[in-house]
Chains A and B, each alone.
Chain A
Amino acid sequence: MKDYLFDGPINDSTIVSILNYGNEDLHAGAYSLFIGRVRADDAGGKSVTAIEYSAYPEMVASQAEDIILSVKNLYPDVRDIIFLHSTGVVKAGEISLVIKVSAGHRAEAMKACSATLEKIKEQLPVWKKEFFNDQSSSWRHS
């Protein structure tokens, strides 16, 4: 699976596909799955209704490969890492990020999943603009 970006909210069938991907690897004893949703954050009396994600697709591919390689180097028990990040508008409550790590054992799978998430936040060229229930919007950093 070489796609790292997904247009719009990530749907149930895509999550199932991610979950089943790599099932033939019988040495993977654990999967760790992270599902990130858009949160209806409150900010000064208003709340987030949606986030619009944008990305630099050509750079996402190279950065994603670097992220995966560096996490695999940190956690050698990891068998595979896949993730999908939304672009476009994702409403509050909808899913914008899915990460699946397979590893020989659960501890490495869970640590590597968390490390992948942190590296995505730091290194993946993705930006988000929050939209609020008063029709205002603002760019969010972090």
Chain B
Amino acid sequence: MARILFFGITREITGAAELDYHASDLQELKEALEKDFDRLSVTCYRFAVNGAIRNDNTKLQDSDTVALLPPFAGG
């Protein structure tokens, strides 16, 4: 099970700071998350895998930490 971290509005939508999911890649994870939390499907976010932003369909291992990152708003 990969560890999934939620930040910003995605944390508010899921009601959790982190959850465990089993998924073979980011696309499968995205589909599973948006099935469980339908507001995510209309929310803008990117994935980071082990702290690095991934725009492709990265394969996932159970040891991975995946973060959902809404648009940054620092400063």
Q: Which residues from chain A sit less than 8 Å from chain B, CB to CB?
A: 36, 53-56, 58-59, 62, 85, 97, 117, 120-129, 139-142
Contacts and interface: CB of A to CB of B under 8 A. Distances in A.
B73 interface: yes
Interface of B: 5, 7-9, 11-12, 44, 48, 51, 67, 69-75
Contacts of A124: 72, 74-75
A125 B75 contact: no
A59 B70 contact: no
Contacts of B9: 127, 139
B75 A127 contact: no
Nearest to A123: B72
A56 B10 CA distance: 13
Contact of B72 (A117, A125, A129): A125
A58 to B, nearest CB: 6
Nearest to B70: A127
B73 A142 contact: yes
Q: Which of B9, B12, B44 has the most CB of A within 10 A?
A: B9
Nearest to B44: A141
A121 B8 contact: no
A129 B67 CA distance: 19
Nearest to A139: B9
Contacts of A129: 8
25 contacts: A36-B75, A54-B7, A54-B11, A56-B67, A59-B48, A62-B51, A97-B74, A97-B75, A120-B74, A121-B72, A123-B72, A125-B48, A125-B67, A125-B69, A126-B73, A127-B9, A127-B70, A129-B8, A139-B9, A139-B12, A139-B70, A139-B73, A141-B73, A142-B71, A142-B73
